Structures are given as C-alpha cells and as structure tokens.
Structure 1
Amino acid sequence: MSEVVTPKIQKSDEEWRSQLSPEQYRILRQAGTERPFTGPFVNNKEKGIYSCAACHEELFISDTKFDSGCGWPSYFEPVKPDAVTDLRDTTHGMVRTEVRCANCGGHLGHVFPDGPPPTGLRYCINGHSMTFEPLK
C-alpha cells in the first residue's frame, strides 16, 4: 500500500489483540481476508446495520447489500461517504482499492467498479470485520 491515513481511534497492538478475536485481528489489523463463503453475513437477509467489529462505527446498511456471488458480503455504498477510506493496494501483484474503516483504520476489504446501480460499486467486505445489529 502506498498511502497512509491516520485513523481517529488509535490503540496499541496489545489493546487490539485483547479486544478482537484472532480472526478479527488478522483481518482488521493485518489486512487479512477470510476464505470466500466462510464468513458471517454472506447470506444474511435481515434488515439492519453493519458496523466495524473493532470500533463499532456504522459502515453499511442492509438496504445497500446485494448478492454479488463473490463469497463476501457486498454493498453498493457505505452508510455515509466518510464512513470508509479508500487506499491504493498494490499487494499480490495487483492494483486494487482497499477499504478501511475511517474511524479506526481497520481493514475491511476492497471496492470494485462492477457493482449495481446507482453507484456501480461493489464493496466486497470481510464478514469478520463487522458486526450486525438487526432493525428493531
């Protein structure tokens, strides 16, 4: 990655490790990814809000979720424009756009330009990087 963004919430590595599960830590703090079709929320059809598992910042709402068939929960836009930060990712011999939580800097996944209208974007997000709160 070639860009650095200073998140609003900053914690030590020790603090993150104590707060997150090993899988959440690997994804959110080490930019890992879960295997396709193995994470939570891929098939979730409930109405609600998806938030960052590290800092609980709201990221996506169920009304923007769609079945992309890629194996990860997909959304066509964040809950608000400044909820996520996009960064250029040149790892693995590819050029992609990484998506991070704007609040804590946690790695969420990637965004691609092959989504549905109205944005044409597909935010491909690791399920373990989020929590879900159903609408009441």
Structure 2
Amino acid sequence: MFDPSAYKRPSDEEISESLSGSEIYITQNGGTEPPFDNEYDSEFGRGIFVDKVTGEPLFLSQDKYNSHCGWPAFSRPLDPNAMVYLEDRSLPITRIEVRSRVGNTHLGHVFYGDSWSPTRARYCMNSASLRFIPVEDMETEGYGHLVHLVGEKKEMWRSPFSDDVGRI
C-alpha cells in the first residue's frame, strides 16, 4: 500500500536517546505494558497510528475497537505487508507476535476468534510501540497522503453479547 523505503530504522543510539526506558523495553525487547494503564487503550479519535520508532503507518483509527483487554486493539492493519508475524513461545501457550516491517519494533500480538472484532482478529498492541497522529495533524506530520483513508467518527454500539458498550 505504501513504500517502506520512505521509513528507516534509527541506530540503536538514536533509539536510546528518543525513547524512555519502558518504551525501549517494550519496543526493542518484546516487553508488555500494563493493561488499562497505557496511553491509547481509550483513544478513539480520528487519525492513524504509526510505529513509534520509524513513523511507518500501521493502523487506521476506524479499525480500532474496544476489546476490553486493556490494550489498544485493532481489527486489521493498514497494510498487512507492514507486519511481521513470529511464533512466540515465551508463555505456556503459543502466541503470534507482531513486529513492524521496517523498524522490527515489537508491537504486540494478534489473536483470532475475537467476538468483539468485526474481522474476528484482534491486533492487541502496546501503546508504547505506537504514536497516534490526529487527522487534523496528518498533513503537517507528513501523512497527508493518507488522510483520505481515515473514516468518519465511530458510532457507539451495544454488544449483542452483554450490556457493554463498544465502538465499531
């Protein structure tokens, strides 16, 4: 969908200077931030989410939904080719780790069969790996060519499975 050569992975020294200790732990060492205590779990504004390390576009705001897992959840990536999928056996269950194509940034994990997701896939991401760019800032931040992809504000909906309210 877009040219990955427009983005580059900074040197390890540049990464250490631009990220906090916890962001380095998460993005470079495969860590996980606490659930419900992160920057973007409750962010439902219009815009895009990019790789915090390289700026590569990863997710559109209209694909973010409330999965009730405590981390930002997306039903699909902006460009499936921007994701690298690896088997993760660090827990007793096997998971699928998601990393960014250009930065090799640990983003989180993808799970399949999520009843909250319109695609049944839940890209459960770490806020520390992402940067949100509101639609009104996309032009000045260099993402004007993607503004046409950002959908309208999401309407609230009531889940057929419970009394919880989510976003689609």
TM-score for both structures, normalised by structure 2: 0.72
Task: State the match for 2:20 in structure 1.
Answer: 21
Greater Rg by CA: 2
Deviations along 1:24-75, whole A, 9 cap, x unmatched? 1110001000010111111111010000110111110101000000000000
Give the superposition deviation at 1:110.
0.2
More displaced 10-residue stretch of structure 1: 69-78 or 106-115: 106-115
Residue 123 of structure 1 is matched in structure 2 by: 123
Cα offset for 1:23?
Answer: 1.6
- The aligned residue for residue 135 of structure 1 is 135
- 1:84 Cα deviation (Å)? 1.2
Runs of 4+ displaced beyond 3 Å: 8-13
Letter in structure 2 aligned against 1:36: P
**1:10 Cα shift?**
4.7
Please tell me whether the aligned partners of residues 24 and 53 of structure 1 are also in contact (alpha carbons under 8 angstroms): no
Q: Distance in 1 between matches of 2:36 and 2:19?
A: 21
What stretches of structure 1 of length at least 5 have no aligned partner?
1-7
Q: Is the 8 A contact 2:45 2:134 kept in 1?
A: yes
The answer for the alignment partner of 2:160 in structure 1 is: none
* Equivalent position of 1:69 in the other structure: 68
Q: What SS does the corresponding residue of 1:44 show, helix, strand or coil?
A: coil
**How far is 1:93 from its partner?**
2.1
Q: How does 1:107-118 map to 2 (within 5 A)?
A: 107-115=106-114, 116-117=117-118
Show the counterpart of 2:53. Answer: 54
In structure 2, distance between residues paired with 1:37 and 1:105: 25
The count of aligned residue pairs is 128
Match of 2:161 in 1: none
Greater share of helix residues, 1 or 2?
Answer: 2
Report the RMSD for the aligned CA atoms in angstroms.
Answer: 1.4
Deviation at 1:92, TM superposition (A): 2.0
Structure 2 vs 1, CA of residues 54 and 95 (structure 1 numbering), >3 Å: closer, same or farther?
same
Q: What is the percent sequence identity of the aligned residues?
A: 38
Unaligned regions of 5+ residues in structure 2, if any?
Answer: 1-6, 137-168
Higher relative contact order (Cα pairs below 8 Å, separated by 6+ residues)? 1
